[in-house]
Amino acid sequence: MNDVTLGFDPGLATTGYGVVQSTPSGWRVLAGGIIETPANHPRSDRLRTLSAEARDLVETYRPCVIGVEEVYLATNAKSAMRTAEARGAILVAAAGFAVRGYTPLQVKKRITGYGRANKAQVQAMVKRLLSLSETPKPDDMADALALALCCHLDLRAPGRTDDAYL
């Protein structure tokens, strides 16, 4: 079985990504960063760019499963719609690969054991679980690494299915 997972924290302006591999000595980061799209470009072009760059990552790392953060209830409808569009672009890029969706609450619970953990607590656990010397930055990349770790944790769960997109 492939031991690489890829996580995406979607956003129209900035999407975080993280690639994690399971090794006999623990997890290690293969890649992490952000995909940025220029605000002055048409939204359709920005979504095409995001999808193409996400597809390049998928093709490069060929993960066994991809974790994508779910759009959750937001106070700003415009922002939520743009995040949902970015998510859609990532899902198109992930076609043919197993995908799992996670809400922020699910990520916090899986990574820290507490669904109401704050961002600093999640980042500290990501740092610890991945044996990093520093807290991963920017936040979008740290969140994406947490999503990739969620996939690894789910792969270990009894009765798991690779493609459990919710």
What whole-number distance in Å separates Cα of residue 77 and Cα of residue 83? 10
Would you state the structure tokens that stand for residue 130, as one six-digit string? Answer: 């991945």
- Asked about 56 being catalytic, the answer comes back as no
Contacts of 113 (CB under 8 A, 6+ apart): none
Catalytic residue among 9, 85, 143, 154: 9
3: annotated active-site residue: no
**What's the pTM?**
0.93
Determine how β-strand 4-9 pairs with β-strand 65-69.
parallel
Residue count (the chain): 166
Q: Given the structure tokens 């969620």, which residue do they identify?
A: 150
Instruction: Please tell me which residue in 53, 70, 85, 140 is annotated as part of the active site.
Output: 140
Q: What is the β-pairing status of strands 14-23 and 26-36?
A: antiparallel
| Identified catalytic residue from 69, 85, 143, 154 | 69
pLDDT tens-place string over residues 136-147: 999 999 999 999
Question: What domains lie within the chain, and their CATH numbers?
Answer: 4-155 (3.30.420.10)
Q: Average pLDDT in the 3-27 region?
A: 96
